Amino acid sequence: MKGNLLLLCLFLSFGIKGQENISFAKKAEIVSPQINPGNTVTFRFETNDAKIVSVQGDCCPQGGNFVKDNNGIWTFTTQKLDPELYSYTFLVDGVKVHDPNNPFLIRDVASVVNVMIVPGGKADLYKVSNVPHGSVTKRWYTSPTLNLTRRVTIYTPPGYETSKEKFPVLYLMHGAGGDEEAWMELGRTAQILDNLIAQRKAKPMIVVMPNGNAGQTAAPGESSEGFVKPVFLRPEMLSGQTEAAFGDMLKFVESNYRVKNEKASRAIAGLSMGGMHTLVISANYPDTFDYVGVFSSGMLQPKDSNAPAYTDFDSKLAKQKSNGYKLYWIGIGKEDFLFTKSNEFRNKLDNIGFKYTYKETNGGHTWSNWRDYLSEFATLLF
């Protein structure tokens, strides 16, 4: 009996030691990305099988080739980067892979990329800071114009739930390939508004971020369509349906939220396709918005130029001008592929004496510019 008990104790002892070896034997942690003093960034990737490892993204416009050490760790360090939210992916022997040591990913249309924030300056607006936070909800509403139930993302400012105050509203439109999640994920809208409001640089406001694709009820994977692959150019793009159905969402917001339903307390802005939606909607609702923001856009070529939203557009602009407004803000990057279209639209405004504020920046058709535009535009509202 004693012998059996001794054997059992030895067995348990070896078993425990074996488990300890499995549970606690840890490899050195691989840190990637590593934000270094001086705002360089080091990326690391572990593999013994690859021949070439590189990184591509807006942090490395020319790409960057990694160097392998004796332990199979590939490393690349960037040049000094400006404060910004950056996206990137790795290329391993030409195949795109995510950084396995960075769990932070964002979908942009059908691509999923890693993201990181190099802190300081404007990038501090993109961080979750120790300030009061607003709430973000995804609401479903009925659109009789489209005969659909659709989803919209809504930011309410800090303290909304516990107050009885009414708030102004910014309607914020996404670009082609986006949906009601784009401004929240890629645009960092909640973080920007939280920080600007805390700094008293922007007034507390509600931000309504609709799905601007008239044939889509919600973001891909979030509707009854299931896990369909997102596409950049949807068949209903620039058909006039989004503009025609805008009133359905406006009615939903003003019936379900404590808002100031007056022209002086409404703003609308959008990027690219959403910029055209913005300028068309504001002209079709000429006594609705005192603040209009057109980001990286102009009067693009409609799919259906006979759609009611697009007909008699010049006379609608003239009516919008005569009704008056407080701010018509246009922003565009010098390298933006829509730079010419933006200038053509500005010429149209100039020809009728339609006053506007113009912001020309470096760069192209990028979220870096659009976050900048939102950060500035929001401080000018209400």
At residue 11, does pLDDT exceed 80? no
pLDDT, tens digit, 9 for 90 and up, residues 170-205: 999 999 999 999 999 999 999 999 999 999 999 999
DSSP codes of every residue in 33-93 = SEEPTTS-EEEEEE-SS-S-EEEEETTEEEEEE-EE-TTSEEEEE-----SEEEEEEEEET
The rounded percent of the chain whose pLDDT value lies above 90 is: 84
Instruction: Assign 293 a pLDDT band (cuts: 50, 70, 90).
Output: very high
* Owner of token pair 């120790």: 130
By three-state DSSP, how is residue 259 classified? Answer: strand
The count of residues in the chain is 382
Long-range contacts of 45-52 (CB under 8 A, 24+ apart): 45/73, 45/74, 45/90, 45/92, 45/99, 45/100, 46/72, 46/73, 46/74, 47/72, 47/74, 47/92, 48/72, 50/74, 50/92, 50/93, 51/93, 52/91, 52/92, 52/93, 52/94
Q: Are 247 and 271 in contact (CB under 8 A)?
A: no
E strands along 219-362, which residues?
A: 266-271, 291-295, 327-333, 357-361
Q: Which residue, chain included where needed, has tokens 């784009």?
A: 182
pLDDT tops 70 at residue 143: yes
pLDDT tens-digit map of 83-103: 999 999 999 999 999 999 999
**pLDDT recorded at residue 7:** 46
For the whole model, what pTM was predicted? 0.90
Is residue 22 predicted with pLDDT exceeding 80?
Answer: no
Whether 3 shows a pLDDT value over 80: the answer reads no
pLDDT (mean) for 335-355 = 97
Percent of the chain residues topping a pLDDT of 70: 93
- Residues in a beta bridge with 266: 169
With cut-offs at 50, 70 and 90, classify the pLDDT of residue 304: confident
The two three-digit tokens of residue 310, written as one number: 């697009």
Confidence label for 20 from pLDDT (cuts 50, 70 and 90): very low
Q: Report the sign of the C-alpha dihedral through residues 317, 318, 323, 329, in that order.
A: positive
Is the Cβ–Cβ distance between 53 and 74 less than 8 Å? yes
Helix H or strand E encompassing 244: helix 241-244
pLDDT given at position 231: 86
The whole-number pLDDT of residue 9 equals 46
Other Cβ atoms less than 10 A from the Cβ of 292: the count is 25
Cα–Cα distance for residue pair 216/116, rounded to 1 Å: 30
List, for residues 256-281, the tens digit of each pLDDT value: 999 999 999 999 999 999 999 999 99
- Going along the chain from its start, the domains and CATH numbers come out as 34-119 (2.60.40.10), 126-380 (3.40.50.1820)
Cis peptide before 132 (omega within 30 of 0): no
Task: Tell me the per-residue pLDDT of 39-68, one tens digit each, with 9 for 90 and over.
Answer: 999 999 999 989 999 999 999 888 899 999
What's the sign of the alpha-carbon dihedral 64, 65, 68, 73?
Answer: positive
